A = this chain, B = another copy of it.
Amino acid sequence: MIGELINVGTEILIGDIVNTNAQYISKELSNIGFSIYYHTTVGDNPNRLKETLENSINRSDVVILTGGLGPTQDDLTKEILAEILGVELVLDQEIYDEITERIYKSGYSQVTQNNYKQAYIPKGASPIPNSNGTAPGILAEMDNKSIILLPGPPREMIPMFEQKVLPYLMKKTDTKFYSNYYKITSIGESAVEDRLLDLIDKQKNPTIATYAKPGEVLIRVTANGESREEVESLLQNYDVVIKERFGQNIYAFEDLSLQEAVGKSLVEKNVTISIAESCTAGQIASRLSEFPGISQSLHSGIVCYSNEAKVRFVGVQQKTLDEYGAVSEEVAREMLQGLYEKNKTDIVVATTGIAGPGGGSEDKPVGTVYIGILYKGQYTVTRHQFRGDRKRIQLWASNEALNKIRKAIV
């Protein structure tokens, strides 16, 4: 089934508003198996709107329009549709009564002629009631195709879409769709794609899509079939493969941020934590603190950016700094020890590294980061080499540290 969208509105064309309707409707249509080939935004201009709509009806099974249904002279989506259908606009008594009632209820003493413009619909089409505004939607069929007109404001459009349009469209397909989600960290989007290339290349059912946010990748696997069982067995095959390929880099099976997943885990398992951050400078603590209720787990963080702070607040020895440098395994280890001695939290985490752009050397180039974790008496310090600019190095270092916390307490 091929669908497409037309968004009518000069306010979109001049950049006054973002076209969130296009995203909402597209996502909903994709979820029930429609292919969307085009979005078009066009202004309230009769010729351009008519040409666009005719073109869309020609090439798609379902055309959904938003906007241009209001009471003013500018609003002419409905008039254009009637022209294309070759019918006239007729008064819908039910809509007429609803508009009257709604307007008197809002405290106006008079209904203007303009308002009644909204009670006219193309002959043969059905109105879609609007419980949040006066402009009804319209559903018309022509040559086995469906044309659906909805108002522009999302708070009117979305409930109408959910309550009337979606059930109507779902009846047009018998297929059932389900998805699995995998949230990945410590691997970039293109590397994630590389590992899935064989599956993406041959994809048909299930389909695989990846979505990247800074430092996180979401994999969505969607399958379809005639029954839930059939779909689930298709998903199951891929589930095995994806878990095998990404292992510990999968930190959630829903669209959760890494800090939410780790924060939730710390709180649920009642694990206390303190953190000594040099190159990440408070980012790990601050990301964890996004999770509500984290105060029962997050004891403290030390942003020991200067050497003085490393000595004063986390008990690193000046001698160790002099001998090995601030960015070293030895310093990371003393940060863990020192903070543990002070706080006795279940977990202690430490980072020290070179975020750049300056400060790198041959031995320890920009992007060198030591990440230490102390859990149940076990010290582990690993050396990493992150790539990219300062912001990216800090982000990847804090991601890696968060994922180490997660793996430790699993």
Contacts and interface: CB of A to CB of B under 8 A. Distances in A.
B15 A23 contact: yes
For chain A, which range describes its interface: under 10, 10 to 19, 20 to 34, or 35 or more residues? 35 or more
Contacts of A300: 302-306, 308-309, 312-313
A191 B385 CA distance: 44
A395 to B, nearest CB: 10
Contact of A20 (B18, B29, B294): B18
B285 A281 contact: yes
B37 A40 contact: no
Majority DSSP secondary structure for residues of A touching B? mixed
Contacts of A391: 290
A227 interface: no
A236 interface: no
A338 to B, nearest CB: 12
> Copy number in this complex?
2
Contacts of A106: 387-388
A38 B27 contact: no
Contacts of A275: 303
A38 B30 contact: no
Contact of A305 (B28, B30, B289, B293): B289
B290 A299 contact: no
Given A283-B286, A300-B302, A312-B342, A23 B17 contact: yes
A282 B301 contact: yes
Given A45-B37, A282-B282, A302 B302 contact: yes
A18 B19 contact: yes
